[in-house]
Amino acid sequence: MSARHGSTKHSEQDSTGKTVPRFSAISAILYWLLTVVTGLTVISTEKYAYQNDASTHWFRVEQLRAGTIVPQVSQDFPELVVTNDHGNVVSFNNTAVNSPFAYLPSLIIRGDYKTSSIATLLITSGIIALAIYLAREFRYAILATAILPMTFFSLTFPTADAMINSFSLLFIAVVLCCYQSARFGWLHIVILSVLAAMLGQVKITCILIAFFVCVLLGKAKKIPLKMALFLPVVMAIASMAMWNRKVSNIATAPSRANIEKIGQLKNQMIADPLSLIGSWFQTLFEPLNVDTEKINGRLVNVSRNSQFFTGSEDMQLANAVIIPVLLAIAILVIVGASQQHLQGWKEIAVPALVSCAYFAATCTAMLVAWAGKSSGYASGIQNRYFVPILPLLFLLVPRLVSGARNRTVFATVIALTAFSYFGIAISFLIDWK
Tens of pLDDT, residue by residue over 104-148, are 999 999 999 999 999 999 999 999 999 999 999 999 999 999 999
- What's the whole-number mean pLDDT along residues 287-296? 82
CA neighbor of 20 nearest in space, from 139, 120, 128: 139
CA–CA dist 92, 190 (Å, integer): 36
Tens of pLDDT, residue by residue over 369-421, are 998 898 899 988 999 999 999 999 999 888 777 766 667 777 878 888 898 88
Contacts of 136 (CB under 8 A, 6+ apart): 3, 20, 21, 24, 176, 177, 180
Please state, for a pLDDT cut of 70, what percent of the chain lies above it: 94
What is the per-residue pLDDT for 194? 97
Band of pLDDT at residue 8, cut at 50, 70 and 90: very low
Three-state helix/strand/coil letters over the chain: CCCCCCCCCCCCCCCCCCHHHHHHHHHHHHHHHHHHHHHHHHHHHCCCCCCCCHHHHHHHHHHHHCCCCCCEECCCCCCCEECCCCCCEECCHHHHCCCHHHHHHHHHCCCCHHHHHHHHHHHHHHHHHHHHHHCHHHHHHHHHHHCCHHHHHHCCCCCHHHHHHHHHHHHHHHHHHHHHCCCCCHHHHHHHHHHHHHHCCCCHHHHHHHHHHHHHCCCCCCHHHHHHCCHHHHHHHHHHHHHHHHCCCCCCCCCCCCHHHHHHHHHHHHHCHHHHHHHHHHHHHCCCCCCCCEECCEECHHHHCCHHHHECCCCECCHHHHHHHHHHHHHHHHHHHHHCCCCHHHHHHHHHHHHHHHHHHHHHHHHHHHHCCCCCCCCCCCHHHHHHHHHHHHCCCCCCCCCCCHHHHHHHHHHHHHHHHHHHHHHHHCCCC
Band of pLDDT at residue 358, cut at 50, 70 and 90: very high
User: pLDDT: is 181 or 131 the higher one?
Assistant: 131
